[in-house]
Amino acid sequence: MTGITISTLNLDSEVRGNLLKEINFLKREGIKVEYQEKVDGKYFFLDCAVVETDEVIGASHQKIFRYYLASIITDLLMNEIAKEMMGRILRTKYQYLSKEELRLIVQKAYLYLSNLNEAGDIEKTLFRHNQILAEVSRYMESNSHFFLEGFLRFRLKEYFKELELSIEKAVENFLVEQEYHEFLKLLRYFVEIQEPRIDELHVLIKDKQSFCLLDEERQPINQDQLQGALSELNNDVDYEDLLLSALITISPRSIVLHVINKIEIVETILNVFRERVLICRGCDLCKQRQAPLTVVQVWPSNDFS
């Protein structure tokens, strides 16, 4: 068998370009490859074969041809075809998503699938690439028609399962981010309608359970200024939520953050209060190494020592 037909549902010019680039490279290396392209409805077909009259040379060139073809097919399966498959699955399962949302989710899912996110394992990706390359090579030994999407869906079942899991993870994270942004919009609304109670507020943050609030004179904020924010003290307290509630209740015209260890709540404060926030780059308060008392201990007693 000297020829092979590659077909795909992906009519993107990048897929065609990658296939032809590899074939043209072989031709420049002296391997006689002929090919024909055809688009039939939603399918793209590429028929290609080694054409060599000398049987010995032809057999050698055939091996080289199939190796390079298997390599480029593997790259396509793990890149353009995987992304296309993700898009098709998302459009079917999540029809309410906009085109831009679909694009962002595919982008994130692909990072998970390829282990290119911050917790990625590149060695795992390389190992998977070699596995897929071996499977593609084996298939090409006894088949002359290679349907890219079908091969990914039915011959690479483990990889396809990972692809589906990557989509689920990306969608879940996308929805969580959406909820977070809606939460921020609501908090910004509360800040906008709230009348400022003081001009400047100093917020000292050491960790997730240690912070204290000082006014412009660097004196402890008293309970009268906090009103309902203290009503949660007798329940299971989430200190980050309580800090946000306190800041919105006080609604200062400006907030100076003194951060010993940066934690997530800092980013939230910046997103909610935006231009009102200034991060101190170093002062006497920042240099204090004794841990601020927790809010539960501080506000009822007004003891910040």
Q: What is the pLDDT of residues 35-44, one digit of tens each?
A: 999 999 999 9
Q: How confident is the model at residue 54 (pLDDT cuts 50, 70, 90)?
A: confident
Largest Cα–Cα distance of the chain, in whole Å?
96
Are 139 and 4 in contact, with CB atoms under 8 Å apart? no
Q: How confident is the model at residue 305 (pLDDT cuts 50, 70, 90)?
A: very low
Q: What is the DSSP letter of 220?
A: B
Quick: pLDDT tens for 155-181: 999 999 999 999 999 999 999 999 999
CA distance 41 to 24: 26
CA distance 179 to 167: 18
With H, G, I as helix, E, B as strand and everything else as coil, classify residue 1: coil
Radius of gyration of the chain measured on its C-alpha atoms: 30
* Token pair for 229: 């924010």
Are 299 and 292 in contact, with CB atoms under 8 Å apart? no
Give the pLDDT confidence score for residue 299 in this predicted structure: 37
| Across 175-204, average pLDDT | 92
Q: Which range is least confidently modeled, 32-46, 129-143, 229-243, 291-305?
A: 291-305
Sheet holding 43-50, edge to edge: 33-40, 43-50, 3-8, 145-147
With H, G, I as helix, E, B as strand and everything else as coil, classify residue 304: coil
| Across 93-106, average pLDDT | 94
Residue-wise DSSP of 187-203: HHHHHHHSPPS-SEEEE
Pairing of strands 254-259, 277-279: parallel
Are 188 and 241 in contact, with CB atoms under 8 Å apart? no
